[in-house]
Amino acid sequence: MNSMFPNKRIQSMIGKKVHIEMKGEKSVLEGILRSVDDYLNLHMSAVNELQDGERKRLLGSVVVRGNNVVLINPMKE
Amino acid sequence: MNSMFPNKRIQSMIGKKVHIEMKGEKSVLEGILRSVDDYLNLHMSAVNELQDGERKRLLGSVVVRGNNVVLINPMKE
Amino acid sequence: MNSMFPNKRIQSMIGKKVHIEMKGEKSVLEGILRSVDDYLNLHMSAVNELQDGERKRLLGSVVVRGNNVVLINPMKE
Amino acid sequence: MNSMFPNKRIQSMIGKKVHIEMKGEKSVLEGILRSVDDYLNLHMSAVNELQDGERKRLLGSVVVRGNNVVLINPMKE
Amino acid sequence: MNSMFPNKRIQSMIGKKVHIEMKGEKSVLEGILRSVDDYLNLHMSAVNELQDGERKRLLGSVVVRGNNVVLINPMKE
Amino acid sequence: MNSMFPNKRIQSMIGKKVHIEMKGEKSVLEGILRSVDDYLNLHMSAVNELQDGERKRLLGSVVVRGNNVVLINPMKE
């Protein structure tokens, strides 16, 4: 059973594609996780904003504030 | 009377199915709790997203940010 | 005049029925307060979810994240 | 000029009637401030819930979580 | 270039009129900034609540919880 | 691969135009980043508020509370 702590689980996703659900207007993002800190602030690249499951806009490099992240989900490659 | 502290109560659910209510768009999740940290960040597996009480989508492995968790409820097995 | 500090006031409700208003979808809960920690995370039992003042669903044992609690109100018995 | 720090300003309202705007469903409360801690958690008594400026319901004794308080306003007596 | 740290920038507004955008129902306030603490809790006086850019109601003396402040903007005098 | 920590990544944007998504009513801002602290509070200048991708209003100098920032995106120049 994979029972890594939440922060270790996220660190294991660095360099990989992740799916992020957030609070606020721009609520779903997909991109490559570059780094994460203790507050779960995320540095991502090649980020796309999604709407209704469709790519809506390329944001490129993005920093996401950890407290506004609802969930992080690794993407299949 | 079971009067475990909130964090101990959640730790007692590790390895079991839990029901999670959250803030944000994807508000109800069910899955197996893998680990939890001091901020109540959760690492879960076999996670399903629910809508109106029905399974809507399989998310698989998910990390949930603790401050966006509204409540955690152990599921009957 | 009862001028207990907020955390002491909540501790005085342990073992008793409380009414909880929360942020998020499942916004009103009633149940027995089992324990509370420094963040006002709550461990409750025999919890009912309310909608428009009516009991909607029995949740049983629940842990509530303190930052998503709006207010706590002791219930008359 | 009254330039008390925010926490001192609130402590100066203890024992007096205050008007509270909050996040969440039950957004406006009026009552007597009994105590306040460093997080601006509030212990209030004789609390009324307001809707559209009218008293809607007597809540009595209430603890309010500080992070969900938007603003605190002393009431004229 | 004015590159004061965010907290110093706000301290430089003490005694002046500021425009505040907040989360919650009463979302726009204007008034004189009296003091600010490390959490960006604000003590303001002569506060007006705005709706659709118009003065709606005089609130007078107000304490605003920092985490619910979205932005602070000095007003031209 | 650019894998700067989230706070370093934001510091690398100081003096440059950034696009900010926030919680609350005034949800999209663009302007020059002047400084940032450990909480990701931002001091910005020449800030425009956007609505539906169009400039709606010039805000000028603004301090943004970090916890209400959803994402920060450097703008192409």
Nearest beta carbon to residue C6 from set D23, D25, D37: D37
Tell me how crowded residue B33 is: count the other CB atoms within 10 A of its CB. Answer: 24
Please name the residues in contact with E2: beta carbons below 8 A apart, sequence gap of 6 or more.
E9, F34, F45, F61
The yes-or-no reply on B/A contact (3 CB pairs or more, < 8 Å) is: yes
Q: Domain range holding F69?
A: 6-74
**DSSP for C20-33, written as a single string:** EEESSSS-EEEEEE
D71 touches chain E (CB under 8 A): yes
Number of domains within chain E: 1
Under DSSP, is residue A49 helix (H, G, I), strand (E, B) or coil?
A: strand
CA distances from F54 to A48, F19, F51 (A): 20, 13, 5
Which residues are F9's β-sheet partners? none
In this prediction, residues E32-50 reach a mean pLDDT of 96
Backbone angles phi, psi at E35, to 5 degrees: -160, 165
For residue D61, pLDDT over 90 is answered with yes
Best CA proximity match to C20, nearest among C47, C39, C52, C1? C47
Chain F residues within 8 A of E27 when measuring between CB atoms: 24-25
User: Is D5 in contact with E43 (Cβ distance < 8 A)?
Assistant: yes
Q: From CA C53, how far away is CA E15, in angstroms rounded?
A: 46
Kindly give the parts of chain B with pLDDT less than 70: 1, 24-26, 77
Task: Please name the helix (run of DSSP H) or strand (run of DSSP E) that holds residue E70, with its range, or none.
Answer: strand E69-74
Backbone angles phi, psi at F5, to 5 degrees: -60, 155
F70 touches chain E (CB under 8 A): no
Chain C residues within 8 A of B29 when measuring between CB atoms: none
Nearest beta carbon to residue A68 from set F1, F7, F23: F23
CATH number at residue B11: 2.30.30.100
Tell me, yes or no, whether D1 lies in a domain. Answer: no
User: Is C7 in contact with D62 (Cβ distance < 8 A)?
Assistant: no
∠ at Cα D22 (D16, D23), nearest 5°?
170
Under DSSP, is residue D76 helix (H, G, I), strand (E, B) or coil?
A: coil
Nearest beta carbon to residue F67 from set A29, A42, A67: A67
Beta strands D69-74 and E54-64: pairing type?
A: antiparallel
Tell me, yes or no, whether E62 lies in a domain. Answer: yes
Quote the pLDDT of residue F71. 94
Tell me, yes or no, whether C1 lies in a domain. Answer: no
Q: Name the neighbours of D, counting chains with at least 3 Cβ pairs within 8 A.
A: C, E
Beta strands B17-22 and B69-74: pairing type?
A: antiparallel
Backbone angles phi, psi at F27, to 5 degrees: -90, -15
For residue C1, pLDDT over 80 is answered with no
User: Is B68 in contact with A69 (Cβ distance < 8 A)?
Assistant: yes
Tell me, yes or no, whether C15 lies in a domain. Answer: yes
Best CA proximity match to C24, nearest among F40, A49, A23, D5? A23
User: For testing the chain C interface, which of B71, B72, B75, B77 should be mutated: the one with the most C CBs within 10 Å?
Assistant: B71
Which residues are C20's β-sheet partners? C29, C72
| Nearest chain D alpha carbon to C41 | D65
Q: Which residue has the higher pLDDT, C76 or A68?
A: A68
ipTM over 0.85: yes
Tell me, yes or no, whether B70 lies in a domain. Answer: yes
In this prediction, residues E41-61 reach a mean pLDDT of 93
* A6-59 tens-digit pLDDT: 999 999 999 999 999 988 666 799 999 999 999 999 999 999 999 888 898 999
Chain D residues within 8 A of E43 when measuring between CB atoms: 3-6, 9
Tell me, yes or no, whether F13 lies in a domain. Answer: yes
Quote the pLDDT of residue B2. 79
| Nearest chain B alpha carbon to C14 | B3
Q: From CA A19, how far away is CA D26, in angstroms rounded?
A: 33
Q: From CA F7, how far away is CA E50, in angstroms rounded?
A: 34
Backbone angles phi, psi at D9, to 5 degrees: -60, -40
- The per-residue pLDDT of chain D, averaged, comes to 92
For residue D23, pLDDT over 90 is answered with no
Nearest beta carbon to residue F71 from set A26, A34, A67: A26
Chain F residues within 8 A of E74 when measuring between CB atoms: 60-61
Q: From CA A55, how far away is CA A1, in angstroms rounded?
A: 34
Of the ranges B47-61, C8-22, D22-36, E20-34, the best mean pLDDT one? C8-22
Which residues are E71's β-sheet partners? E21, F64
Best CA proximity match to F18, nearest among F41, F56, F47, F54? F47
Tell me, yes or no, whether A1 lies in a domain. Answer: no
Which residues are E36's β-sheet partners? E42
| Nearest chain F alpha carbon to A43 | F6
Nearest beta carbon to residue E26 from set D4, D67, D71: D71
C14 touches chain B (CB under 8 A): yes
Quote the pLDDT of residue D53. 81
Q: Are the beta carbons of A39 and B38 closer than 8 angstroms?
A: no
∠ at Cα C29 (D59, C42), nearest 5°?
100
* B2-13 tens-digit pLDDT: 789 999 999 999
pLDDT in tens, chain F (77 residues): 578 999 999 999 999 999 999 886 667 999 999 999 999 999 999 999 998 888 989 999 999 999 999 999 999 86
User: Is D14 in contact with C3 (Cβ distance < 8 A)?
Assistant: yes
Quote the pLDDT of residue A52. 80
Please name the residues in contact with E73: beta carbons below 8 A apart, sequence gap of 6 or more.
E18, E19, E20, E21, F59, F60, F61, F62, F63
| Nearest chain C alpha carbon to D64 | C71
Chain D residues within 8 A of E35 when measuring between CB atoms: 3-6, 9
B7 touches chain A (CB under 8 A): no
Please name the residues in contact with E20: beta carbons below 8 A apart, sequence gap of 6 or more.
E28, E29, E30, E31, E42, E44, E64, E69, E71, E72, E73
Beta strands in B1-77 (DSSP E): 17-22, 28-36, 42-51, 54-64, 69-74
Query: In whole angstroms, what separates CA D4 from the centre of its chain?
Result: 18
CA distance E49 to chain D (A): 11
Chain E residues within 8 A of F25 when measuring between CB atoms: 21, 27-28, 70
For residue E1, pLDDT over 70 is answered with no
Quote the pLDDT of residue F2. 79
Nearest beta carbon to residue E6 from set F15, F22, F41: F41
Q: From CA E65, how far away is CA E22, in angstroms rounded?
A: 9
Tell me, yes or no, whether C20 lies in a domain. Answer: yes
